[in-house]
Amino acid sequence: LAAAAQEAVPVDDPKIEAWREAYRAFGAKPQRTRPSVDALVRRMPLPEINLVVDAYNTVSVRHGLPIGGEDLGRYAGTARLVRAVGDEPFEVVDKGETVIDTPEIGEVVWRDDLGVTCRRWNWRQCVRTRITEETTDALFLLERLAPMSLDELRAAGAELAALLEAVTPGVTIESRVVEHE
C-alpha cells in the first residue's frame, strides 16, 4: 500500500484543476480550502491514518479524484449533496477539542439527517462519521468531474475494491454509479 501511494497524479493535472474550478464556481477559494485530492497530492507522501483510509487516499491520488469515506454505523439517513442553509451542525476538532461549526449559506456540503458530514463538497470531513478501526460498515464516495471519464471512475472504484479486499479479507462490496446531468 505504501509503495502504491507514492504514485500520484501531478498537482497541475486537469482532473484536479477541474475541482479547483468547481470550488471557484460555488465561491470557495481553492488555495484556502483545497479540494481533498488537491490537498492530498500536495501532502505527498501520504500520511498514514489506518488501513482503510490509507487505501482510499491511495486511490484518490493515483487517479486524481476526491474520495470520501463514511462510517455508515454513525450515519443517520441517506447521504445527500446539497447547498447548506447555514445552520447545519458540523462537528470538527479544533486544538484538540471537539467543537460544532456551521457551513456558510449556499456552501456545497454532504450531509445526513443529523448534520453536515463533509464541508465544501469534499474539503473537510466531520468527526462523527469518519472511518476508524472500529468501523464495520462504510460508504465510499468517489466523485468525478470532466475530464475524468466514467471508465476512469470505474477503474478507480475497482482498484479501491481490490485494496479493501486486501486489507480486510472477507469484506463484502457493493457499488453503483450515480450520474447527474
Specify the DSSP element, H or E, that contains 97: strand 97-101
DSSP state of 95: T
Residues present in the chain in total: 181
pLDDT at 65 (0 to 100): 96
Instruction: Let me know: does 128 contact 96? Beta carbons within 8 Å.
Output: no
Condensed to tens digits (0 to 9), the pLDDT of residues 41-92 reads: 999 999 999 999 999 999 999 999 999 999 999 999 999 999 999 999 999 9
Condensed to tens digits (0 to 9), the pLDDT of residues 101-139 reads: 999 999 999 999 999 999 999 999 999 999 999 999 999
pLDDT at 2 (0 to 100): 55
What DSSP string runs through 105-168?
Answer: TT-EEEE-SSSEEEETTTTEE-STT---TT--SEEEEE---TTS-HHHHHHHHHHHHHHHHHHS
Helix axes 51-63, 150-167, angle to 10 degrees: 160
> Which is more confidently placed, 126 or 6?
126
Categorize the per-residue pLDDT at 174 as very low, low, confident or very high, splitting at 50, 70 and 90.
very high
Does 180 score more than 80 pLDDT?
Answer: no
Distance of alpha carbon 105 from alpha carbon 139, whole angstroms: 26
- What letters, b where the CB count within 10 A reaches 16 and e where it falls short, cover 53-83? bbbbbbbbbbbbbbbbbbbeebbeeebeeee
DSSP state of 8: -
Does 3 score more than 60 pLDDT?
Answer: no
